[in-house]
């Protein structure tokens, strides 16, 4: 089994000039097969080149000022989170996206992809074709579902 056999084709993506507000709306609107919204999306330029990824953690980092990290528990100012969220809403995707992107090739063995997901602590792994264009994403949940399906239907435990 290769990356292309388990990847989910990219049906929606973010553009670097979109605001965080637009990005979040798109992430909430785009559903996976299980019916839940996306918790991260790839960022592509107008030619389809992979530029980055925006995840829920990136959005939280953009909302929480860096000078508060580690000391947030000391602040109890009413309305502080709401105020920070209003400020973050107009930031551009390009300013908050993760740009150190680890990818898999469409013909990479599935075990290589699983190894990348585990070793790099990733939730999603973009898949690129020979031209380097993003064509799909492998989600760690899909790997987990594949494994549990094997457990349920094929594994025989001998005690």
What are the tens digits of pLDDT across the range 2-48?
999 999 999 999 999 999 999 999 999 998 888 889 999 999 998 88
Residue 45: what pLDDT?
92
Helix (H/G/I), strand (E/B), else coil: 17: coil
> How big is the chain, counted in residues?
159
Which run of H or of E encompasses 140?
A: helix 140-153
| Residue whose token pair is 């920070």 | 84
Bridge partners of 29, per DSSP, are none
Backbone angles phi, psi at 81, to 5 degrees: -60, -45
Tell me the pLDDT band of 75, cut-offs 50, 70 and 90: low
Structural domains in the chain, CATH included, are: 3-153 (3.10.580.10)
Closest CA to 47 of 133, 128, 137: 133
Q: What is the pTM of this model?
A: 0.84
Per-residue pLDDT reduced to its tens digit, 90-141: 999 999 999 999 999 999 999 999 999 999 999 999 999 999 899 999 999 9
């Amino acid at each position: 089994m290769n990356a292309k056999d388990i990847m989910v084709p990219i049906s929606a993506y973010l553009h670097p000039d979109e605001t965080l507000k637009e990005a979040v709306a798109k992430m909430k609107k785009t559903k996976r097969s299980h019916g839940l919204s996306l918790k991260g999306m790839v960022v592509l330029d107008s030619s389809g080149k992979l530029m980055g990824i925006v995840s829920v953690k990136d959005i939280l980092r953009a909302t929480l000022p860096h000078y508060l990290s580690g000391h947030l528990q000391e602040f109890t100012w009413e309305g502080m989170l709401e105020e920070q969220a209003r400020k973050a809403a107009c930031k551009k995707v390009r300013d908050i996206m993760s740009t150190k992107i680890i990818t898999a090739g469409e013909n990479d063995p599935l075990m290589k992809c699983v190894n990348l997901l585990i070793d790099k602590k990733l939730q999603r792994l973009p898949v690129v074709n020979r031209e380097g264009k993003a064509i799909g994403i492998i989600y760690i949940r899909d790997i987990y579902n594949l494994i549990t399906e094997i457990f349920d239907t094929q594994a025989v435990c001998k005690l």
